[in-house]
Amino acid sequence: MTDFPDFDRALEARLVAYCAIDSQSDEMSPTQPSTAIQLDMQRHLMAELEHMGASDIELTEYGAVLATVPATSDTAPDIGFCAHVDTAPQFNATDVKPRVFRKWDGQDITFPDAPDLVLSPKNLPYLASKAGDDIITASGLTLLGADDKSGVAIIMTMAEHLLSTPGMTHGRIRLAFTPDEEIGRGVDDRLPADMGVDFAYTLDSSRVGSLEYESFSADGAIVKVTGVSAHPGYAKDKLVNALHVAADIVARMNVDGQTPETTSGREGFAHVYAMEGGSSDAELRVLLRDFELDGLAAQGDRLNAACAAAESAFPGAVVTCDISKQYRNMRYWLENDMTPVDIAKTAFEAEGVKPKVDIIRGGTDGSRLTELGVPCPNLFTGMQEIHGPLEWISVQDMAVSTRICLRLVQHAAKT
């Protein structure tokens, strides 16, 4: 087995620096990328890539940073590695203060900015197994941003090692750091051609051993409700409150329990995640998810039926439902050529890690890349309790992922 240096301190330093940079995306913004602050992170990466000696460094028109680690073999495949720089808009990500617990003692972790918040190994068996590791959290008022800045840190550390270590045999390695993954806009249609690789891997999964090549298929819906406005003091038999109509739609969608908080495994759901407006006009935003296309269509049918029933129940209301495609289950393409999955499994085993094939109850940039012609399974980084103030990660988990990526490019050169 090839020996690699200790990557722990490099990974820790990178993740702490990256997480302190505000790069939250915004689905309500029409721009590309959706927020200018994501470009602060991208420019930081470009400077770092230039310093380590990467080539072909560019910031694309659509906000992605691309770079190359030149090949040392003319016969090895070209491989891409992708991670996203944006953080989730569902929770505060401004003024992130990363904290490092070196050789964590296994006791409850408290938070200086939120005294009532506790990260306890008593409730989290995976955390309990990490006593002695270096654990990174935020300070209690924000998420950490390890989703997916841990993936960025792993890819950058891998690239630095390849660029600074003569004698390693590998093909051309393309690095891609995308904006707006958290709002479903991470993969611009131009990205596959700009990457120019035979296959790729996203670094955007959780615990050690996780290897994913099956994701949700996803649609998004915008429901608009127009009521009938009237003075509330003289509204009898006149007013049709758009908020009541919207609430009726939400209630109908909850009747059969196909919501995120009541489903698991291969069960799909509809998730009403935003409602805004007033008594005259209201809007709902809905995520539709299922692993199979017929199940996804059924979720859309449920929503349309709820909208039609609510419109009928409130004479005078007008309800429209616009459903749009987001991404599709990457399995539909990867099952036709499992080469990148098989190479990853071999790399896991070479590192002494048993691969655990998981399904993603969500999607990654790999879902869209695969659909657009770049087979792209998803690998673990170690991120845990993401999108909230209890988010944490083990530096040692990140180091395992880094070594697996290096073994992966070495093994691919031999196939």
Query: Would you call 169 helix, strand, or coil by DSSP?
Result: coil
The length of the chain in residues reads 415
Cα separations in angstroms, 139 against 20, 312, 391: 11, 49, 10
Query: Would you call 141 helix, strand, or coil by DSSP?
Result: coil
Q: What is the DSSP string of 299-346?
A: HHHHHHHHHHHHHHHSTT-EEEEEEEEEE--THHHHTT--HHHHHHHH
Please, are residues 131 and 105 in contact by the beta-carbon 8 Å criterion? Answer: yes
Q: Is the pLDDT of residue 112 over 70?
A: yes
Diameter of the chain measured on Cα atoms: 83
Q: Is the pLDDT of residue 132 over 90?
A: yes
Q: Is the pLDDT of residue 2 over 80?
A: no
Count Cβ neighbours within 10 Å for each residue of 312-333 and write b for 16 or more, e otherwise: eebeebebebebeebbbbbbeb
Confidence of residue 257 (pLDDT cuts 50, 70, 90): confident
The pLDDT tens digits for 169-226 are: 999 999 999 999 999 899 999 999 999 999 999 999 999 999 999 999 999 999 999 9
If one compares 256 and 129, the residue with the highest pLDDT of the two is: 129
DSSP state of 175: E
DSSP-assigned beta bridge partners for residue 286: 221, 272
Burial class of residue 12 in the structure, from the number of CB atoms within 10 Å of its CB (0-12 exposed, 13-18 middle, 19+ buried): buried
The pLDDT tens digits for 358-408 are: 999 998 999 999 999 999 999 999 999 999 999 999 999 999 999 999 999
Beta strands in 161-293 (DSSP E): 173-178, 199-205, 210-215, 217-226, 269-277, 281-290
Work out the average pLDDT over 69-94.
Answer: 96
CA distance 288 to 293: 11
Residue 148: is the preceding peptide bond cis (ω within 30°)? yes
Q: Is the pLDDT of residue 144 over 70?
A: yes
- Pick from 60, 62, 53, 85: nearest CA to 173: 53
What's the N-to-C CA distance of the chain in angstroms?
17
Q: Which helix H or strand E contains 167, and what residues bound it?
A: none
CA distance 399 to 415: 25
CA distance 185 to 179: 8
In CATH terms, the fold of domain 217-327 is Alpha-Beta Plaits (3.30.70)
Q: Which of 86, 219, 311, 397 is catalytic?
A: 86
Amino acid 1: pLDDT? 61
Percent of the residues in the chain that have a pLDDT greater than 70, as a whole number: 100
- Ordered by start, the domain boundaries in the chain are 8-215+329-414, 217-327
Amino acid 166: pLDDT? 86
- Is 86 in the active site? yes
CATH superfamily of 8-215+329-414: Zn peptidases (3.40.630.10)
Q: What is the DSSP string of 269-282?
A: EEEEEEEEE-SSEE
Distance of CA 381 to the CA centre of its chain: 12
pTM of the predicted model as reported, rounded to 2 decimal places: 0.93
Please, are residues 385 and 392 in contact by the beta-carbon 8 Å criterion? Answer: yes
User: What does residue 283 show for φ and ψ, rounded to 5 degrees?
Assistant: -140, 135
List, edge to edge, every strand of the sheet that includes 135-137.
99-101, 135-137, 392-394
Return the amino acid letter for 296: L
Q: Is the pLDDT of residue 142 over 80?
A: yes
Burial class of residue 336 in the structure, from the number of CB atoms within 10 Å of its CB (0-12 exposed, 13-18 middle, 19+ buried): exposed
Q: Which token pair is 375?
A: 């087979």
Work out the average pLDDT over 84-94.
Answer: 96
Q: Which token pair is 322?
A: 């616009």
Query: Would you call 26 helix, strand, or coil by DSSP?
Result: coil
- Per the prediction, the chain carries an average pLDDT of 96
∠ CA 201-267-86 to the nearest 5 degrees?
40
Please, are residues 176 and 66 in contact by the beta-carbon 8 Å criterion? Answer: yes
Distance of CA 136 to the CA centre of its chain: 19
Burial class of residue 282 in the structure, from the number of CB atoms within 10 Å of its CB (0-12 exposed, 13-18 middle, 19+ buried): buried
Paired sense of beta strands 79-84 and 199-205, if any? parallel
- Pick from 335, 327, 326, 315: nearest CA to 377: 335
Q: Which of 8, 181, 188, 397 is catalytic?
A: 181
Instruction: Report how many helices (DSSP H) and strands (DSSP E) the chain contains, helices first.
Output: 11, 17
